[in-house]
């Protein structure tokens, strides 16, 4: 990229009050619904649940919602960056499980190895996926599907077909990272804040949004498209592995059977939060609303419909996702018509 291309483009002249008034009402409504729809639904669901159930607004229940889901939310954080570029990463559920096993294995040799080993493997795997997508021009769906299967195979190899379970030593400080409610929640909250800054306050974040909006135009602007793609999958893989390691610290062992379907939960949370599945628009705040909304709904299902098991939860997930994607399509058509 030339130095000329790095120069920021001149800001457009500020719109006058008359110009702002000419922005179509339907376009403004569509934009607000897309950005804040999940938050509005979340507030409504929480209000109804609090009014109809005496157990929902208790600290034990809130602690369960936050602490039990905190590590899975990191998958949604990484997925937000990926989807904003117009890509997809189906490997994060498998990486989550592998990260837990590697973290538990590393904890037997020290806390730092328990943290760094899964992060290194997650970053390396994400980089390989990014290189294949960016430079070999392979479809993200195919590459990450191979990653999903390949990581499960690697997980089986590391654990001798699942026969070996690595336990975190009882005296290991690594256990503290996943203990209780506030430690994991604060770790996740700090990473979400960093993610929001990265997306909204840096040139890298602007490049991801431009890439997802129109890759060809981003190339013409001189933006580092290939490098951004590699970095975004590196970020997703690292966060997934880190989430798995922290989950292993919470469970006290590396569990080979967890993480199945987590990639779909992450995708649903991101899309429900307002990030366009086609890329080019989205926010970390929206993802927070999306993951909280699904977590609250799952909690209510467990409370009122526990007799139907996880199948009912998956059905609700699918239904929510279908409604949101349909709504996004309608909003997009509304904006195009304007």
160 versus 118: which is more confidently predicted?
A: 118
Q: How many residues does the chain have?
A: 338
pLDDT-derived band at 89 (thresholds 50, 70, 90) equals: very high
The predicted pLDDT at position 62 comes to: 86
- For the chain, what is the largest distance between any 2 Cα atoms, rounded to a whole number of angstroms? 70
Residue 283: how many other CB atoms lie within 10 Å = 20
Q: Give me the chain's average pLDDT, please.
A: 84
Alpha helices for 91-224 (secondary structure H): 92-107, 111-134, 140-158, 182-201, 203-213, 215-220
Number of neighbouring beta carbons within 10 Å of residue 11:
6
List C-alpha distances in Å: 42 to 13, 19, 49, 56, 287: 37, 34, 10, 14, 12
Angle at CA of residue 262, ends 258 and 267, nearest 5°: 175
Helix (H) or strand (E) holding 293: helix 284-304
Going along the chain from its start, the domains and CATH numbers come out as: 38-331 (1.10.3470)
High-pLDDT (> 70) share of the chain, %? 84
Instruction: Give the model's pLDDT for residue 55.
Output: 82
Pick the residue with more confidence: 61 or 104? 104
Mean pLDDT score, 104-130 = 94
Q: Is the pLDDT of residue 73 over 90?
A: no
In the chain, DSSP assigns E strands to: none
Give me the residue label for tokens 């120069």.
7
- Given a contact cutoff of 8 angstroms between Cβ atoms, the answer to whether 255 and 239 are in contact is no
Tell me the pLDDT tens digit for each residue of 8-50: 444 444 444 444 455 676 667 766 666 777 788 888 888 888 8
Instruction: Say whether 85 sits in a helix, a strand or coil.
Output: coil
Q: What distances in angstroms separate CA 129 from CA 77, 88, 99, 248, 280, one per listed residue? A: 18, 11, 17, 24, 21
User: Is the pLDDT assigned to residue 252 strictly greater than 60?
Assistant: yes
* Phi then psi dihedrals of residue 167, to 5 deg: -105, 140
Per DSSP, 253 falls in state B
User: How much is the pLDDT for 151?
Assistant: 94
**What pLDDT does 22 receive?**
58
Closest C-alpha among 272, 275, 276 to residue 296: 272
> Which residue is it, tokens 């159930």?
53
């Amino acid at each position: 990229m030339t130095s000329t291309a790095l120069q920021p483009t001149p800001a457009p002249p500020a719109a006058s009050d008359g110009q702002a008034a000419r922005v179509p009402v339907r376009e403004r409504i569509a934009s607000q619904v897309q950005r804040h729809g999940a938050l509005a639904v979340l507030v409504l669901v929480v209000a109804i649940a609090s009014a109809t159930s005496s157990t929902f607004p208790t600290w034990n229940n809130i602690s369960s919602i936050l602490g039990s889901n905190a590590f899975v939310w990191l998958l949604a954080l990484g997925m937000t960056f990926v989807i904003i570029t117009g890509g997809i990463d189906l490997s994060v559920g498998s990486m989550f499980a592998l990260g837990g096993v590697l973290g538990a294995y590393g904890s037997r040799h020290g806390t730092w190895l328990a943290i760094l080993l899964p992060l290194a493997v997650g970053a390396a795997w994400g980089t390989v996926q990014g290189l294949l997508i960016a430079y070999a021009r392979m479809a993200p769906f195919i590459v990450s599907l191979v990653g999903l299967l390949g990581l499960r195979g690697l997980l089986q190899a590391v654990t001798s077909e699942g026969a070996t379970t690595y336990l975190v030593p009882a005296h290991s400080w690594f256990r503290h990272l996943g203990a209780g409610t506030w430690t994991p929640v604060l770790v996740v909250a700090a990473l979400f804040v960093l993610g929001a800054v990265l997306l909204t306050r840096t040139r890298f974040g602007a490049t991801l949004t431009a890439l997802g909006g129109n890759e060809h135009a981003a190339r013409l602007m001189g933006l580092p498209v290939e490098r951004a793609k590699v970095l975004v999958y590196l970020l997703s893989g690292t966060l997934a592995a880190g989430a798995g390691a922290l989950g292993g610290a919470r469970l006290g062992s590396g569990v080979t059977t967890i993480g199945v379907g987590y990639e779909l939960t992450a995708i649903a949370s991101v899309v429900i939060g307002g990030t366009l599945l086609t890329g080019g628009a989205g926010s970390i705040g929206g993802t927070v609303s999306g993951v909280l909304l699904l977590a609250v709904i799952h909690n209510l299902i467990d409370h009122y419909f526990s007799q139907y098991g996880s199948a009912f939860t998956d059905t609700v997930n699918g239904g929510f996702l279908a409604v949101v994607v349909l709504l996004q399509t309608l909003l997009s058509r509304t904006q195009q018509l304007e």
